[in-house]
Structure 1
């Protein structure tokens, strides 16, 4: 689009990096601003659904990802004791049928490293250990002042990709209170790869699963129920996770034993309470637009949170390339992406509700199948 030269992306997560890559490909000068001192995120593994792999193919990093990721083409469901109930093939996303395996997992740090290499090759200017201190958003651009600076930086567009507790969103919607606690929490650790495919265990009150993230490793996730949105002290994480794993049989009993013996410590465990939200009013104001968790956040039930953010970056870049005005581009970006985000969030929320209430396994399975089928479609 004519009239756009310089773009700032606030937030160097997966969505922010992918948006930086796509916008840089179009010739824009892109500054990627991250408040931490690195673009490598905290966290264990990340699931890459068929739709997410298709998006990474569009970004241009699919070969590097699949070279080190843990790929799989089946999902296996087991009882808490480990008896196999069923297995189902994973179908490819439309437009990515050429990929050998249709789902994968990878360490978050390794995916971030691949994306960072690509965006630096494209000349994206990465600014770390900094964030926006002051903000002036108007109809012909955005002026921002970074922490510790006494001068203003001018941009034609600012993209707020700074996560679920977005400061950029607060600038647009200062009274926004849309976050909803789902009454579930997510526990994750990296463990050996015990199975070839993604394997899920269904207990009486819990769900656990192991997603391959390399040839040798998987990440274990456990979803549990919380009546209140409580802060759990980190020093209690090993004890809490070990207690949860007591509901399951082998090989999860081996993981519990490693925790009990101190081989797995609190630094090895990631715990997050799960929230959702979706902004239904405009995702933009003047020259500022929101992306990823800043505008829509989901739970991990459909392994699509990161995928939504990546797709959002692709769509935003496409619309800026074809629209006649920035406002038209922002409107079309939201119009194309809203229904998909709403589908993922509403379906994931319902899956969590079924798990908490020990509801219908048939409804749970049908929601999973139907939603994943729709996500195979192109936006």
Structure 2
């Protein structure tokens, strides 16, 4: 059922949002061009925590079985004190009849391999090292000038080029820029100890520490730190991370002691912005972090990106014009995205003031309960 108003589509950005959009729009019958400024399917970061609603979206995308086979799926989040003492558990139930578990995790490179495989299998041949220099719209379509001086003509353009989106600047010249939230995150892979069967948070200390299993033998550990924005060189990361983990006991003490000069650590400041809606202009629409970047407190950024693709393809199939489809997409999905962004920022605020663990987990639990509602 080819969307009559979107027979030919350009997707800018080959991350999770862009690959998901390529899969859903090809499945709907559209002809898809996918470009990215990077030289290949570039993966940035270590692991991904996956909520139940995200697993549901991945199931609708058609990749849940692969994610479950190569990653981790389970239920619940265990909340611990700094010394490792068990405080409480946050349930992560999905509605009756759901075919997915309530929680999960996967290595980001593994998810990229799964999604890129589906993109190629759908007949999409990405063009890398390419960007958009100019977008010109008229009543019938969009003319795009690429960085290699070639032209393309499309029914619509999907901007999936991340938090620093050039597409966003091209259609909304006065859009806000990403701003530092006051927190930075550290990520690294650690062994999965025997008996660890779920996600963990360690609250009540100077930083928030957590881990998510990503396979039968590995987890990814994260540390969220309140700090002035700073640039750290790779060489200083191991010692600095070990120092942050000094107060923490249980398995974390063992992970800390195992950090060495060759430990691979990803470190980045957390940024966000609030872009007024709607997140489209004419025949160009923004998805994923290009429209609604979220900090990782609810582990829902990747899930929203996949949901964006699913909802966009569905609305394009239901409507006979791009304008009507984009409006229906915004009416159906924008509030959900804003809820995730706002809730994540609120959890980050509570972390920064070192609110009691129960106050932090209450926001997490309430937000996750709302996100299980159908799209």
Tell me the CA shift for residue 258 of structure 1. 2.4
CA separation in 2, counterparts of 1:203 and 1:137?
A: 52
Which residue number in structure 2 is paired with residue 374 of structure 1? 370
Structure 2: state its 5+ residue gaps.
none
Aligned match for 1:61, one of 45, 60, 63: 63
Aligned: 1:171 with 2:170: yes
Q: 1:236 to 1:348 in 2, by over 3 A?
A: same
Tell me the CA shift for residue 335 of structure 1. 1.5
Structure 1 residues 248-287: aligned runs within 5 Å: 248-259=248-259, 261-264=260-263, 268-287=264-283
CA separation in 1, counterparts of 2:180 and 2:97?
A: 35
Tell me the CA shift for residue 111 of structure 1. 0.7
Aligned: 1:342 with 2:358: no
**1:138-179 CA distances to partner (integer Å, 9 max, x unpaired)?**
3322222222x2321111111000000000000011122243
Which residue number in structure 1 is paired with residue 354 of structure 2? 358
Aligned: 1:199 with 2:200: yes
Which residue number in structure 1 is paired with residue 220 of structure 2? 219
- Whether the 8 Å contact between 1:185 and 1:225 is mirrored in structure 2 is yes
SS in 1 for 2:342: helix
Which residue number in structure 1 is paired with residue 232 of structure 2? 232
CA separation in 2, counterparts of 1:202 and 1:3?
A: 50
Aligned: 1:329 with 2:328: no
CA separation in 2, counterparts of 1:169 and 1:111?
A: 26
CA separation in 2, counterparts of 1:199 and 1:326?
A: 43
Q: CA RMSD in A?
A: 1.6
CA separation in 2, counterparts of 1:46 and 1:52?
A: 11
TM-score (norm 2): 0.95
Which residue number in structure 2 is paired with residue 134 of structure 1? 134
CA separation in 1, counterparts of 2:344 and 2:5?
A: 40
Q: 1:230 to 1:45 in 2, by over 3 A?
A: same
Tell me the CA shift for residue 55 of structure 1. 0.4
Aligned: 1:46 with 2:42: no
- Whether the 8 Å contact between 1:190 and 1:220 is mirrored in structure 2 is yes
CA separation in 2, counterparts of 1:263 and 1:127?
A: 34
Q: 1:171 to 1:47 in 2, by over 3 A?
A: same
SS in 1 for 2:73: strand
Tell me the CA shift for residue 15 of structure 1. 1.0
Which residue number in structure 2 is paired with residue 185 of structure 1? 184
CA separation in 1, counterparts of 2:247 and 2:340?
A: 29
Which residue number in structure 2 is paired with residue 245 of structure 1? 245
SS in 1 for 2:126: strand
SS in 2 for 1:296: coil
Which residue number in structure 1 is paired with residue 151 of structure 2? 152
CA separation in 1, counterparts of 2:134 and 2:177?
A: 24
**1:280-300 CA distances to partner (integer Å, 9 max, x unpaired)?**
232111111100000001111
CA separation in 1, counterparts of 2:58 and 2:346?
A: 27
Tell me the CA shift for residue 9 of structure 1. 0.4
- Whether the 8 Å contact between 1:178 and 1:279 is mirrored in structure 2 is no
- Number of aligned pairs? 371
Structure 1 residues 60-99: aligned runs within 5 Å: 60-92=62-94, 94=95, 97-99=98-100
Tell me the CA shift for residue 217 of structure 1. 0.3
Aligned match for 2:24, one of 5, 22, 25: 22
Tell me the CA shift for residue 345 of structure 1. 1.1
Tell me the CA shift for residue 205 of structure 1. 1.9
**1:262-308 CA distances to partner (integer Å, 9 max, x unpaired)?**
241xxx11111111223223211111110000000111111101101
- Whether the 8 Å contact between 2:204 and 2:354 is mirrored in structure 1 is no
Aligned: 1:288 with 2:284: yes
Tell me the CA shift for residue 322 of structure 1. 0.6
Which residue number in structure 1 is paired with residue 105 of structure 2? 105
Q: 1:9 to 1:108 in 2, by over 3 A?
A: same
**Please, which moves more after superposition, 72-81 or 274-283?**
274-283
CA separation in 2, counterparts of 1:258 and 1:55?
A: 36
TM-score (norm 1): 0.94
Structure 1 residues 284-323: aligned runs within 5 Å: 284-323=280-319
Tell me the CA shift for residue 230 of structure 1. 2.5
**1:166-203 CA distances to partner (integer Å, 9 max, x unpaired)?**
00000011122243321111110011112221111114
